[in-house]
């Protein structure tokens, strides 16, 4: 079974984009900060949500 390269690279880039937000959440969790993440990083959130679909389509 071969892993699709493009979705994996996109996930890594999305997590890299969200790195500082995730660090802030780990230090000081608030629901307001969780609500602000999609507003400031919509593409990264979309990539993470659509990753299973991208992996299924690339097989």
Q: Would you say residue 2 has pLDDT above 90?
A: no
Q: Would you say residue 58 has pLDDT above 90?
A: no
Percent of the chain topping pLDDT 70: 98
Rounded CA-CA distance 10/6 in Å is: 6
Residues 6+ apart with CB under 8 A from 7: 51, 54, 55, 58
pLDDT in tens, 18-35: 999 999 999 999 999 999
CB 11 within 8 A of CB 45: no
Cβ-based burial of 44 (10 A; exposed 0-12, middle 13-18, buried ≥19)? buried
Q: Would you say residue 41 has pLDDT above 90?
A: yes
**Residue-level pLDDT at 1:** 66
**Residue-level pLDDT at 37:** 94
**Residue-level pLDDT at 4:** 87
Rounded CA-CA distance 59/51 in Å is: 13
């Amino acid at each position: 079974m071969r892993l699709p390269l493009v979705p994996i690279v996109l996930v890594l880039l999305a997590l890299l984009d969200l790195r500082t937000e995730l660090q802030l959440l780990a230090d000081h969790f608030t629901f307001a900060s969780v609500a602000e993440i999609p507003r400031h990083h919509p593409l990264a959130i979309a990539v993470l949500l659509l990753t299973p679909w991208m992996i299924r389509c690339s097989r």
